[in-house]
Amino acid sequence: FDLFDWPIGITAKDDRDGKMAAAQQIEDTIEKLESEMGIPPSRVVVGGFSQGGAVALLAAYHRRVEGRVPFAGCVCLSGWLTLKDELKVTPEVAKSTPLFWGHGTWDDKVLFEQQAHGVEKLRESGVDVSDYNYPMGHQSHPEEMSMMAEFVEKALFPKE
């Protein structure tokens, strides 16, 4: 998808068609995993960094409509909630797809304000959000990677 604003703040313009096409690529891959390997969406954590995080949020929360199996979880690293005015998270998705969101407090590409804004919107929709921030720019942090790994493990292998 295309970017129209730089840096990406909460008022950034969305390339709706491009983002929906990117999310469809994730959907196609998930459908292929299920049809060819028997791995259902409920055993998949979608995620990404920056633009990948934005698309993962779109696929996990915007596009999992009634009747679609929710993902096991979603990871957003230094990303942002796109098409936020169209956000309609189903109760089943809110309950079944927790979110890990890590972001750098000094991020000058995808501004740090994006995390608080997106987290608030998703929590208002009932999503279980684990949000963390780190003293870094638009990059990853060792502690963030460790926390993300724990999140993915819990999402895929919950303790009863």
Report, as residue numbers or ranges, the catalytic residues.
50, 107, 138
Q: In terms of C-beta density within 10 A (0-12 exposed, 13-18 middle, 19 or more buried), how is residue 15 classed?
A: middle
Grouping H, G, I as helix, E, B as strand and the rest as coil, residue 79 is coil
d(CA 27, CA 33): 10
Residues 44 and 30: beta-carbon distance below 8 Å = yes
What is the total residue count of the chain? Answer: 160
